[in-house]
């Protein structure tokens, strides 16, 4: 199902812990990628409780935070994925 654009597309999701909230956000983002014909491999879920130093590297204050690293320029979204259409339009801006 992978799209040719996947090499130029990468998304980071920052969560803390692996509770229900964190899992459902990861799942929601994965299904959003799937619906839009992207591979789940473009997504990296970063659990800051495991790698807290990433909070410094990426200046994370809000949870959850999504960063589209590729393509440039980067896009940063904070908040849950309740409005999928809005999130997708921001990620593909």
Partner 1 sequence: MIERFKTGIEGFDQLTGGGLPKDRTTLVTGGSGCGKTLFMLSILARGLLSRGEPAVFLSFEERPRDLIDNAASIGLDLQDFIDRDLLHIDHIVPPREGMTAVGEYTLDGLKLRIEMALKSIGAAYLALDTIETLFLMFEDERAIRGELVRLLNYLSDTGVTTIMSGEKGDGRVTRRGFEEYISDCVIVLENDTMGDVATRRLRVIKYRGAHHGPNKYPFLIDEQGVTIMPLTSALFDHTVSSDRLTTGTAALDEALGGGIRRGSTVLLSGGSGTGKTILASLTVEAACQLGERALYMSFEESPKELIENVRSAGIDLKTPREDGTLVISSARPTLMGLERHLVELYRLVESHRPNLVVIDPISSLSTAGDRDAVYRTTVRMIDYLKRHGITAILAMEPTEAEDRDRAIVFSSILDTLIELSSEVDEDGINRHLQIIKARGIAHDHRRIAFHIGKSGVVLEADDG
Q: Which stretch in 1-9, 34-42, 75-83 sits in contact with partner 1 by CB under 8 A?
A: 75-83
Q: Does 55 bind partner 1 (CB under 8 A)?
A: yes
Site string for partner 1, 6-35 (x = CB under 8 A): --------x-x-------------------
Q: Does 63 bind partner 1 (CB under 8 A)?
A: yes
Which pair of tokens denotes residue 17?
Answer: 């812990």
- 8 A C-beta contact, residue 42 and residue 9: yes
Give the angle 80-52-91 at the CA atoms, nearest 5°.
Answer: 35
Using the minimum distance from each CB to partner 1, give the nearer residue, 1 or 93.
93
Other residues' Cβ atoms within 10 Å of the Cβ of residue 87: 18
- Shortest distance, CB of residue 82 to partner 1, whole angstroms? 4
Burial class (CB in 10 A: 0-12, 13-18, 19+), 30: middle
Of the residues 23, 35, 36, 62, which one makes contact with partner 1 according to CB under 8 A? 62
């Amino acid at each position: 199902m992978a799209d040719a654009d996947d090499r130029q597309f990468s998304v980071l999701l920052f969560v803390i812990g692996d509770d229900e909230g964190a899992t459902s956000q990861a799942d929601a983002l994965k299904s959003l990628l799937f619906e839009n014909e992207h591979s789940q491999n473009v997504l990296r879920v970063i659990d800051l409780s495991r790698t807290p130093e990433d909070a410094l590297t990426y200046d994370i204050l809000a949870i959850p935070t999504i960063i589209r690293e590729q393509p440039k320029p980067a896009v940063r979204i904070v908040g849950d994925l309740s409005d999928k259409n809005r999130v997708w339009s921001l990620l593909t801006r």
